[in-house]
Amino acid sequence: MNKTGIVAEKAASGGAEPRALRGAEFVIAAAALGQLPPPGAPEVAFAGRSNAGKSSAINALAGRRRLAFASRTPGRTQQIVLFGLPSGGIVADLPGYGYAAVPKAVKREWQDVLASYVATRPTLVGLALVVDARHGLKPLDETLLDGFLPSGRPAMVLATKSDKLSRSESAQASASIRRQLTQRYPAHAARVTVIPFSATARTGIMEADAILAGWLGM
């Protein structure tokens, strides 16, 4: 989307800015679940494959340029990073997964850690799964949802990099992800919102922000 399109996007939203993640501040980077603070405040988690655009999505929603950092070597940042919010809530930035250059043993270990976190963290109130719209849900995305959705909690899929697609292609990509969800999770798909998203073009930011605010009770 060009600058004119971005201006039109902001005008359509009344010039509104996202608020749910505003004021987020670093709390801890945990290399293991045991290093996380005890459950307390409501948490929202962001997960996604390496290079799906997770850090960019968090930064756009927080209104910050470098709140979440993308590693120069995808898949190498193996930590759960927590940010505290003025509202008392917590944002969990989960490590990216699926990068081929990471040793298999490390991959397996962190896949188990992430699966355990999303399935058992009692204060986790919602999951934002960041997916490249051009590629749809991959097996590791589905593995994460397999552990999370049976809990009954809501999720949203941010179909990122929609600015690299035409409007019709973006709509088709989101519809394809919706079909994947419906086919694999017939009992849970209704609790998953699919949002075409672009941090660059600011597409989907206010819709995602409204969902996050609802999860956090704002």
pTM score, whole prediction: 0.88
- Provide the pLDDT confidence category of residue 185 given band limits of 50, 70 and 90: very high
Instruction: Decide the pairing of beta strands 43-48 and 124-132.
Output: parallel
- Predicted local confidence at residue 107, as pLDDT: 75
**Secondary structure (DSSP) of 58-118:** HHHHHT-SSSSPPPSSTT----EEEEE-TTS-EEEEPPPB--TTS-HHHHHHHHHHHHHHH
Q: Are 53 and 132 in contact (CB under 8 A)?
A: yes
User: What are residue 124's DSSP bridge partners?
Assistant: 43
Residue whose entry in the numeric block shows the structure tokens 């201006």: 7
* Res. 175: pLDDT tops 80: yes
CA distances from 155 to 74, 141, 148, 152, 163 (A): 24, 12, 9, 10, 22
Q: Tens of pLDDT along 76-132?
A: 468 899 999 999 999 999 998 877 566 777 778 888 889 999 999 999 999 999 999
Domain containing 123 — which CATH number? 3.40.50.300
> How far is residue 154's CA from residue 152's CA, in Å, rounded to a whole number?
7
Residues 173-183: what's their mean pLDDT? 97
Share of the chain above pLDDT 90, in %: 73
- 11: pLDDT confidence band, cut at 50, 70 and 90? very low
- Please say if the pLDDT value at position 10 is more than 50: no
Degrees, nearest 5: CA angle 83-86-90: 35
Domain residues for 164?
A: 3-215
Number of domains in the chain: 1
Q: Given this model, what pLDDT does residue 190 score?
A: 96
Dist. CA 15–CA 206, nearest whole Å: 10
Which of these, 27, 94, 86, lies nearest to 62 by C-alpha position? Answer: 86
